[in-house]
Structure formats: C-alpha cells, structure tokens
Chain A
C-alpha cells in the first residue's frame, strides 16, 4: 500500500478542551457560570476583598494599572461606606481593621484584574440570603505585571459556595472532589496566607515524574471582613482560585509552563492526546 498523510481536520485548542472539561465538572457539581470585566476597578479587585490600600500588591510593580480609562465608578455609597469602615476599624465584623484612613480615590483606580476574586466580590454584593446556597464558578483571564512571560496573562479557575452550615471540611471536600474528577490521585492541603481568606489553603498535588509537590492555587473561607460588608450577613463562604496552567501542564504532560498556549498550528491540530482526565 502507498503511504498516505493523515486526513486534514479541524480542531479545538487543547487548552480550550480542558476549559470545556472544567466547565462540565462545575456543572455536574451544580455550579452556575458567571463573568466580570477584564478591566476592573480597585474597589472590586482589592478594597472589597480587604486588601489594605498601600499593600505591596497594589503597587504598579505587581499590578497592571490602567492609564486610560484611569478611573471607574464606585458602587452604591452604603456599600462603599461599609468597606471603608471595615478597613479603618473593622466596622461591626468583630475585626480590628487596619487603623488607617481609607480613601475613595484609590478605590476608583482601574486595573486589569489580578484575580477572579473580583467576580466573587461582585456576586456576593448581589446575594440574596433567602436564595442560598449560592454556587458559582468562572474560568477567565487574570493579569500580572511581571517579566515572567507566562504569568503576564494566565487563567484562573475560580469557584465559590455560600451557605449556612458549611465549614472548613466542606471546602476540603469540594476541592477533593474537583481534583478527583481531574484525575489528581495524590493531593494535600498546605496552610497558607491570603489577605481575603482565613482559613487559607494551598492545595497541592504530587507530580509523579518530578517527584515534587506542586501548588494548584489558593483556597479558603472568606474573611468576615469581606463577607459582611458585601452581604450584610456572616454566612460562611468557601472560595478558591486554581491555576489553570498547572492543571493543563499535568494533564497534557507539558514540561514548560510557558508553552501552555501554543500558537503553532501544526502542533495544535495534531496535539490532542486522548486522556480519561478530559
């Protein structure tokens, strides 16, 4: 027989195949997809998440601030006032706050969202306590002002569950279920620190080829200083933001994370390894 070329075919991008799979998993778990703007005001990205003004992450060295349009509009004045008081003195959350004067101008500064937690803040501000549980997810771009090419634009896999009577064990349960479905056989939870969560967890998986534990992102229970100003209640809120590229690299066995999104057309059309994890 004459040797033949494989037939020409169209193809989805392998990164989007994983994104579609992740969406399926969230749907199966009863989560609703939400979205928010890429360009975000500092208020939703930082202030509503109890990141104090003057925190190093709010510096141009980490965050892309927007030159044009430089400023956006703050939401409802009552909400802004609750956030202000929480930063300054803890408001009624039982917190000490940070003891500084919170300024509205800094909160109006536009930036490229650094995290999808801005979606979480926006969604929580619309929550109706009577309609709990709230279960939402989003998979979208986030930006970091860095010389590390892979991190300039990456994707975050974010989820949130708010309900009375849920606790730390449920956070671990939700994450475990997600990791099982993605085929991570060995995972563990590392205590960590994020400004907007307490307890704070870094989930990790064991990479069998490099024999190393690899971080999958961050998770935690949102701080009362975040939840109460946004919702008016102290309902427990579990949240996480996972690193899409780390999941991608493990499933497709990509060694160099900077190659997570190849634009090589031949490669994209031929690189569709079948995996039970997809």
Chain B
C-alpha cells in the first residue's frame, strides 16, 4: 500500500472539475483506492501497489478524469512526445552492476513550488515501492541547462569518481560518499559489493551524479528557475525502468511539459525512450460475460474500459484493446475484466448463491477434538488460548528442560522466536498472568505444537495436544490423574502410566502416558523450581497428551 498526500484544491485543479470530498471519495472507492484521511485541505489517499501510475497527483487526477468520463479512453501521449537526437550512452562496463538505463528530456516546464513538491513526492514513493528502495529502479532528475550531451553512464573505480554531492560544499570520492554522506550510507548496499560504481557524466566532463545514490550539488538540483529537465532511470529490470520513466514523463506532459525522447544507445542496440506505445490485447466478449455473470454488449464494454483510460474497438467480433504503457498491472485479459467491473461498480453486481449441492464435513481430528473439549469443560475446566509462537526461555529454560529440537525463525521483530513444542509451558504462563485471580484455577487447551520431522516436505509436522493443568493449594498427582482417568473411560482410550522422570515435574510424582507401548504424553506435579520460575505460590498438577493416535 502506498499513500498519496495531496491537497484537495490541487487535486480539483488537476481534475478540472469541482467535486465535493464525498464525490472524490466515491470515485476513489470505485477505482479501488481509499480516501483514508481528510485534514483540512489535505487528503491522504491509499493506493494499492498495482497502480504506481497513480502515485502522482497528476496520475491520480488522470484516473479520476477518465472514470468520470471527462476524458474517455487512452490519452494520446504518443503524438505529443517528440523524438530528439540527444544521446544517452550506456556503457558496457555497467552491465554487471546496473544493466538498464533509460532517459528523456522535458522542456517548457514551469517549476512552481507545487510541482517541485509533487516531483519530490513521486520520486520518493516510486523509489520506496516499485523501485524496491532504489535497487530495482532509481530516478535522477537534473536541470538540463548547462549539461552538454551526449550524456554517458559508465562504471568507474570508486576513488576515481569525484564531485560535490547534494547538500555538501566539498568534493568527495565515490568511496567517501558511501561512508560520509547520509544518503550514501543509506543506499550503499546497492553498489558497495562491486569494484566499480556507476557514474553519470556529460560531454564536457561534468559529473552529474553517481546513480542510484546521489546527484551532484552543481548539476543535480532543480529550482523554480528550471524550465528544462533531464531524467534518467537506472535499474536491474528493463520493463520496470521503462515504466517508471513513462510514469514520470506522462506526469510532466500533463503539466504542459514537452517530452523529448532520447536516443538511448547500448553497444548492441538503440532505443528511443520513454517508451509510450500502448500494449495491445485482444479479448473475447464471452470471457468477459462468463467471468462477470453479465450480458454486456461490446458497446457497453467499450464505454466501461474507456472510463478506465483504456481504448477498445470491436474488430471482426473481437475486442481489440489498447492499454497505456504505464498501466503496469495488466498482465492478462482478466485484468481488463477487473477494470470493466470497477467501471461498472462492484456493488452494482447482484450477489447470487451458487446452486451446486455438496455435503460439508469436518476433519475427523476436529470431531474428536470437540469431544475432548466438551469433556474438559464438563469437568469444570476453563479453555485457554495461547500462541504457537513463543520463546526458547519459556519452552525450555523456565520449565527446567534441556533445549530440544524446535522450529526457529529469522530476524523476528518481536520477542517470540520459536514455535512451541509443548503446551504445558504456555499454560504455566497463563497461570503466571492470573496470580491476581481466584483459586483453584483449572485450565486446558487443545491445540497444535510443531515438531521437527525430516520425513515431511516441510521438515516439520504439527501435532495436536491436549494439556490440562490445575493450580490450587490442594492439587496433587491424584487429582490430575483422576481427570485423565475419566477422559480414558469416557473416550475408551487404552492409556498406561509408567513412572518417568521429566525435568518439569517432581521426581517420583511424574509418569509418562503410553499408548500401544509408545509414549504419547506426561503427567505429574510441577517441580517447585518451575512453579517459582513462573511466580506462582501454589502447587500445579498437569498432563499433556498427544491426540494424534486417536483420530
């Protein structure tokens, strides 16, 4: 999710029609965006990540204008863009570092404070989202005045790159920028691993920037006096760098700028960018109606797509569609059907229940678990709900057990870092958080634990356990055993107890629970050390039983 911060007045100005906040909210809803916040004149709009073309106020206004029918269909940017002879030369030395670069020049711009604000906004948002923190795509914008084309992008040794970076008053080398400049430090990871760094220079030998890190203070700063700009996008994915450049170019074109396509020369191929040719799709009317359960005519579909800024014509019973190049979300005809449904309004479709009779069913384990839970409640126990994700400390150390095999996670943002291998420690934690409550406390849980299992495709398996625990001044082995005995007889389980030492329990007052000669659980009085670790003052008796054998 990306947010667009834009003032109401700016958006209205760009749309070119007076709309109330309510009207804007309703159009945004239908397109698939959300007016998240209105604070005075400032709007906060949530945009789904599939529509980077709408992160600029201009792009958003364009989408709203289409939806309202102010300008139906494809906007003909192709005829507005001019081919130029300005050259942007991408050297082979870049191929292993940052293989793709594209560029353009925009003239006739009026860089008001508003537009400068918009540009900074869009650049930041595209970097953070679509550009994956500048690694997949990064944008550089420069005043064109003073730059001598052709412009060269090549790789250079870090110590050979020297220029004054933005916000600095002295020259630094490429290596120094990564160490000393705040922006350099932030994005160093993208190029640090290479022995050469990308550098952008003009034909007079001026350094314009070190993409994707930072621009030059002398050549890379747009001001209100700027009327012509040079834009480059570098990155690791051809389609992405092109889409980002086109999103920017169309934004400036909407502001009255004249876009000059540059000749981007690689050693083996030349392109004119920004690319603007619409993507062509052909789609079947039947497929549309089958997916939507409607009976739209071709004419209706043409209008609906027009309201999403897409051109559609009926040619020989096929709908031939032209999608703007900046609509990065269209991968398949189904994406066009989605647009048709948005234009029609999701809530205008009549919900109907499918008429295919089927017989429902619970998993056998679930039916058994429900019986067990009912029996426990019948015995006056309270069901608790604990988390699968927990800590090593709780699962092993605090219950006096040696650390056993378990599932652990990478870089958790929370204190929990392993999946539980036993429910009993979690029930102890539950007692720990209830010391203010009345006693006796009698609790149980039926839930899954996770064990390492090399034979499974995920190298682990879930196992359902029942754990019951009693905390009271008089509880003991006999009381908890009575509970287990009644479960045995109610469900007809053949369980045997054998004396067994378990670190969590008092020696001599603990046993293993066995089924068909295999251990399936444990039962006993909790060790005073463990009781103390959980800050309890009263004895605890507990059993934990795997239910897997009984399903």
A38 contacts partner chain B, Cβ-Cβ < 8 Å: yes
Instruction: Tell whether, in the assembled complex, residue B290 and residue A198 are in contact, meaning their CB atoms are under 8 Å apart.
Output: no
B-facing residues in A134-190 (Cβ within 8 Å)? 135, 141, 143, 145-147, 149, 152-153, 161, 163, 166-170, 172-177, 188-190
B-facing residues in A88-120 (Cβ within 8 Å)? 90, 93-100, 110, 112
Instruction: Tell whether, in the assembled complex, residue A33 and residue B353 are in contact, meaning their CB atoms are under 8 Å apart.
Output: no
Instruction: Tell whether, in the assembled complex, residue B413 and residue A146 are in contact, meaning their CB atoms are under 8 Å apart.
Output: yes
B408 contacts partner chain A, Cβ-Cβ < 8 Å: yes
Number of A-B pairs, beta carbon distance below 8 Å:
262
Specify which of A73, A192, A221, A263 is in contact with B434 (CB 8 Å cutoff): A263
Chain B residues contacting A38 (CB-CB under 8 Å) are 388, 419, 448, 450, 462
Instruction: Tell whether, in the assembled complex, residue B354 and residue A163 are in contact, meaning their CB atoms are under 8 Å apart.
Output: yes
Q: How far is the CB of B546 from chain A (nearest CB, A)?
A: 16
- The interface centre, meaning the residue of B291, B358, B359 with most chain A CB atoms within 10 A of its CB, is B358
A11, closest chain B residue (CB): B382
Instruction: Tell whether, in the assembled complex, residue B349 and residue A169 are in contact, meaning their CB atoms are under 8 Å apart.
Output: yes
Specify which of A8, A30, A141, A173 is in contact with B359 (CB 8 Å cutoff): A30
A216 contacts partner chain B, Cβ-Cβ < 8 Å: no
Contact stretch, chosen from A60-68, A77-85, A250-258? A60-68
A214 contacts partner chain B, Cβ-Cβ < 8 Å: no
- Interface size for B (C-beta < 8 A) is 93
Instruction: Tell whether, in the assembled complex, residue B338 and residue A75 are in contact, meaning their CB atoms are under 8 Å apart.
Output: no
Chain A residues contacting B332 (CB-CB under 8 Å) are 90, 93-96, 198, 223-225
Chain B residues contacting A153 (CB-CB under 8 Å) are 387-389
Chain B residues contacting A199 (CB-CB under 8 Å) are 291, 334, 337-338, 341, 346
A10 contacts partner chain B, Cβ-Cβ < 8 Å: yes
- Given contacts A37-B458, A176-B351, A223-B334, A68 and B438 within 8 Å (CB-CB): no
A261 contacts partner chain B, Cβ-Cβ < 8 Å: yes
Docked complex Cα distance between A72 and B455 (Å)? 10
- Interface size for A (C-beta < 8 A) is 94
Q: How far is the CB of B338 from chain A (nearest CB, A)?
A: 5
Docked complex Cα distance between A56 and B291 (Å)? 30
Instruction: Tell whether, in the assembled complex, residue B385 and residue A75 are in contact, meaning their CB atoms are under 8 Å apart.
Output: no
Chain A residues contacting B292 (CB-CB under 8 Å) are 167-169
Instruction: Tell whether, in the assembled complex, residue B347 and residue A16 are in contact, meaning their CB atoms are under 8 Å apart.
Output: no
Chain A residues contacting B337 (CB-CB under 8 Å) are 198-199
- Given contacts A26-B360, A33-B361, A93-B332, A100 and B237 within 8 Å (CB-CB): yes
Instruction: Tell whether, in the assembled complex, residue B357 and residue A30 are in contact, meaning their CB atoms are under 8 Å apart.
Output: yes
Docked complex Cα distance between A201 and B337 (Å)? 14
Instruction: Tell whether, in the assembled complex, residue A110 and residue B459 are in contact, meaning their CB atoms are under 8 Å apart.
Output: yes
Instruction: Tell whether, in the assembled complex, residue A264 and residue B410 are in contact, meaning their CB atoms are under 8 Å apart.
Output: no
B433 contacts partner chain A, Cβ-Cβ < 8 Å: yes
Docked complex Cα distance between A153 and B434 (Å)? 22
Instruction: Tell whether, in the assembled complex, residue A200 and residue B338 are in contact, meaning their CB atoms are under 8 Å apart.
Output: yes
Instruction: Tell whether, in the assembled complex, residue B377 and residue A27 are in contact, meaning their CB atoms are under 8 Å apart.
Output: no
Instruction: Tell whether, in the assembled complex, residue A110 and residue B346 are in contact, meaning their CB atoms are under 8 Å apart.
Output: no
Chain A residues contacting B351 (CB-CB under 8 Å) are 169, 172-173, 175-176
Docked complex Cα distance between A224 and B332 (Å)? 8
Instruction: Tell whether, in the assembled complex, residue A193 and residue B419 are in contact, meaning their CB atoms are under 8 Å apart.
Output: no
Chain B residues contacting A27 (CB-CB under 8 Å) are 360-362
B461 contacts partner chain A, Cβ-Cβ < 8 Å: yes
Q: How far is the CB of B271 from chain A (nearest CB, A)?
A: 16
Instruction: Tell whether, in the assembled complex, residue B346 and residue A13 are in contact, meaning their CB atoms are under 8 Å apart.
Output: no
Chain B residues contacting A261 (CB-CB under 8 Å) are 385, 387
Docked complex Cα distance between A169 and B341 (Å)? 11
A268 contacts partner chain B, Cβ-Cβ < 8 Å: yes
Specify which of B342, B385, B458 is in contact with A40 (CB 8 Å cutoff): B458
B367, closest chain A residue (CB): A33
B532 contacts partner chain A, Cβ-Cβ < 8 Å: no
B41-70 contact mask (Cβ, 8 Å, vs A): 1 or 0: 000000011110000000000000000000
Docked complex Cα distance between A166 and B437 (Å)? 53
Specify which of B49, B366, B383, B462 is in contact with A33 (CB 8 Å cutoff): B366
- Given contacts A198-B332, A224-B332, A152 and B416 within 8 Å (CB-CB): yes
A-facing residues in B115-174 (Cβ within 8 Å)? 129, 132, 136
Q: How far is the CB of B412 from chain A (nearest CB, A)?
A: 6
A236 contacts partner chain B, Cβ-Cβ < 8 Å: yes
B430 contacts partner chain A, Cβ-Cβ < 8 Å: yes
B350 contacts partner chain A, Cβ-Cβ < 8 Å: yes
B202 contacts partner chain A, Cβ-Cβ < 8 Å: no
B-facing residues in A217-241 (Cβ within 8 Å)? 221, 223-225, 236
Docked complex Cα distance between A66 and B407 (Å)? 7
B416, closest chain A residue (CB): A152
A34, closest chain B residue (CB): B363
B452 contacts partner chain A, Cβ-Cβ < 8 Å: yes
Specify which of B49, B349, B433 is in contact with A193 (CB 8 Å cutoff): B49
Docked complex Cα distance between A64 and B409 (Å)? 6
B384 contacts partner chain A, Cβ-Cβ < 8 Å: yes
Q: How far is the CB of B426 from chain A (nearest CB, A)?
A: 9
B376 contacts partner chain A, Cβ-Cβ < 8 Å: yes
Docked complex Cα distance between A38 and B406 (Å)? 13
A266 contacts partner chain B, Cβ-Cβ < 8 Å: yes
Contact stretch, chosen from B4-12, B24-32, B297-305, B500-508? B24-32
Q: How far is the CB of B453 from chain A (nearest CB, A)?
A: 9
B331 contacts partner chain A, Cβ-Cβ < 8 Å: yes
Instruction: Tell whether, in the assembled complex, residue A23 and residue B414 are in contact, meaning their CB atoms are under 8 Å apart.
Output: no
B352 contacts partner chain A, Cβ-Cβ < 8 Å: yes
Instruction: Tell whether, in the assembled complex, residue A201 and residue B335 are in contact, meaning their CB atoms are under 8 Å apart.
Output: no
Instruction: Tell whether, in the assembled complex, residue B358 and residue A30 are in contact, meaning their CB atoms are under 8 Å apart.
Output: yes
Instruction: Tell whether, in the assembled complex, residue A265 and residue B341 are in contact, meaning their CB atoms are under 8 Å apart.
Output: no
- The interface centre, meaning the residue of B29, B329, B438, B457 with most chain A CB atoms within 10 A of its CB, is B457
Q: How far is the CB of B53 from chain A (nearest CB, A)?
A: 13
B293 contacts partner chain A, Cβ-Cβ < 8 Å: yes
Chain B residues contacting A34 (CB-CB under 8 Å) are 363
Docked complex Cα distance between A30 and B342 (Å)? 30
Chain A residues contacting B386 (CB-CB under 8 Å) are 263
- The interface centre, meaning the residue of A26, A27, A37, A133 with most chain B CB atoms within 10 A of its CB, is A37
A41 contacts partner chain B, Cβ-Cβ < 8 Å: yes
Docked complex Cα distance between A15 and B458 (Å)? 29
Instruction: Tell whether, in the assembled complex, residue B457 and residue A90 are in contact, meaning their CB atoms are under 8 Å apart.
Output: no
Instruction: Tell whether, in the assembled complex, residue B346 and residue A264 are in contact, meaning their CB atoms are under 8 Å apart.
Output: no
A-facing residues in B433-459 (Cβ within 8 Å)? 433-434, 437-438, 441-443, 448, 450, 452, 456-459
Docked complex Cα distance between A265 and B386 (Å)? 12
Chain B residues contacting A39 (CB-CB under 8 Å) are 407, 419, 450, 458-460
B458, closest chain A residue (CB): A72
Docked complex Cα distance between A68 and B21 (Å)? 52
Docked complex Cα distance between A167 and B384 (Å)? 41
Instruction: Tell whether, in the assembled complex, residue A149 and residue B382 are in contact, meaning their CB atoms are under 8 Å apart.
Output: no
Q: How far is the CB of B534 from chain A (nearest CB, A)?
A: 13
A122, closest chain B residue (CB): B457
Instruction: Tell whether, in the assembled complex, residue A149 and residue B414 are in contact, meaning their CB atoms are under 8 Å apart.
Output: yes
Chain B residues contacting A269 (CB-CB under 8 Å) are 382
B380 contacts partner chain A, Cβ-Cβ < 8 Å: yes
Question: Can you name 11 extra interface pairs (CB under 8 A) apart from A221-B334, A261-B387?
Answer: A11-B382, A37-B462, A39-B458, A60-B410, A66-B407, A90-B332, A190-B32, A193-B32, A199-B338, A266-B437, A268-B382
Can you give 12 A-B contacts (C-beta < 8 A)?
A: A10-B376, A10-B380, A13-B382, A30-B359, A65-B411, A69-B452, A94-B332, A201-B346, A224-B334, A236-B291, A265-B430, A266-B438
**8 nearest A-B pairs in the assembled complex, by CB-CB distance:** A193-B48, A69-B459, A172-B351, A30-B358, A27-B360, A167-B293, A191-B32, A169-B293
